[in-house]
Amino acid sequence: MMARSLRVAPEYIEKVKSVPQRKGYPSQQTLASEMGFSLPTVKSFLTGKPVDYLNFVELSEKLGLDWREIAYKEPENSQPQTLSVEQQFRLEKERDGLEEAWNIQHKKVSKIRLALLIETGTTNEFQLEQQLQEAKARLTDIEAELYQVEAELELASPTKILENKVQVSPLKPQPTNGEASPFITGAPITQPRYFFGREKELKRLFNLLKRHPLQNSAIIGKKRSGKTSLLHYLKNITTSPAEQLRPEQKSDWLPHPENYHWIFVDLQDARMQSREGLLKYILELLKMQVPTPCDLDHFMEIVSDNLHFPTVILLDEIGVGLQRCPELDDGFWESLRSLATNHTRGNLAFVLATPESPIEMARNTGHSSPFFNIFGYTAYLGALTEIEARELIASSPIAFTDEDVEWILTQSCCWPLLLQILCREKLFNLEEGENDDNWREEGLRQIKPFTDLLDSELAE
């Protein structure tokens, strides 16, 4: 598990404290302003208090320090923590109390900020600035305490918690419906092992996401061309264990995949179609405090203040959101655009899936938000290459004859859904021990509803 926060090791604190002035920063506030961080964050870094992982790395690099060298490291011989039920209960109660304290303190910071916007008197403004710095410092201290408690709880897995001196066995995985299907035809592919092709698109998309600032992109394709499956693949491939992938399947698309947060939003889901429901969902997945009320102003403030790690929001069925969700209006999309471009220091990007260009889609649904102008790269999904199609066919647990492979390639024109259907029918034929070609007739019948994919290709 990657640490959520890091701190300067005690033996390096004095060295680190002396660096800013040598680098031309006359004060800690100057460094904070240039980095776009709060003053308490810089102070915590320089005095050996825990700060967010990515903030620690950025500050170290800015000051010419090797963050790996100066970061405090837990002793290698430290034993996994073992908690009694009473200890676990105490820590959970402490965590809940800290979360409540954080919420209260965050509201206090928000009120002072609001007062600063209204205040015009120099004396009162100075006092409010002082109060704001103190309140933000207290908020940082609460966050550090909260990280520490959560770290202790995370180190104590269910197998390490003692109850009456007897270890509790971990929960057994829920039984599945049997072996996984090698060919998936009725639902998006969510397990990377069963996803094939799109190498060119993946390379371009990950190149936009592996460097700072993160950049936005759109995936355009006909219905059932695999847009949703590609979104799931982006989200899952970089952190999937090697044993869950195919041999030689590429997964090292990002240099530090553990730093990334991925949020998949299906706008066909009724819970995502209200403004409050969608904002709550995003905050919960980011593990940020959900305010009351969870409106756009509070959402913008919380994310702006706390998003310090690369985050990608994957928007599926964006057309549904534009056509059927009046709460997701131009003001809503404009706020998201502002969040990505101005308030998250390059740490936020959107990838959306749509059957047409974002600008055309917005225009056709009566929207005019500039949000749909920020997608600088578009991936057009057509058929797979022949090499990619052959790789998919070869994944069958029972090998097909060369003649059948060529027939499948010809009839499918290498479209992934049609390949999956025809391979499914052939595999079923082999598993039933049938030696005739009736499966071909059935396969053609099954792909008939989707032959619109065989029409003229999307213009790139």
What's the pLDDT score for residue 83? 60
End-to-end CA distance of the chain: give it in Å, rounded. Answer: 42
Total Cβ atoms within 10 A of residue 276: 14
Instruction: Compute the average pLDDT of residues 308-334.
Output: 91
Report whether 39 contacts 28 (CB < 8 A): yes
Q: Which residues of 365-396 are buried (b: 16+ CB within 10 A; e: fewer)?
A: eebebebbebbeeebbbbbbeeebbbebbeeb
Report whether 309 contacts 345 (CB < 8 A): no
What number of residues does the chain have? Answer: 460
- What is the reported pTM? 0.63
- The sheet with strand 161-163 has its strands ordered as 83-84, 161-163, 166-167
Residue reference for tokens 């002396």: 18
∠ Cα 147 153 159 (to 5°):
155
Confidence of residue 129 (pLDDT cuts 50, 70, 90): confident
pLDDT digits (tens, 9 = 90+) for 393-431: 999 999 999 999 999 999 999 999 999 999 999 999 998
Amino acid at 307: L
Facing residues of 217 across strands? 351, 377
Q: What's the CA gap between 352 and 218, in Å, rounded?
A: 5
182: phi then psi, degrees, rounded to nearest 5: -75, -25
Which helix (H) or strand (E) is 412 found in, with range?
A: helix 402-412
pLDDT digits (tens, 9 = 90+) for 370-388: 888 899 899 999 999 999 9
Tokens of 112: 């002072």
Confidence of residue 124 (pLDDT cuts 50, 70, 90): confident
- Top pLDDT among 440 and 103 is at 440
Which helix (H) or strand (E) is 202 found in, with range?
A: helix 199-209
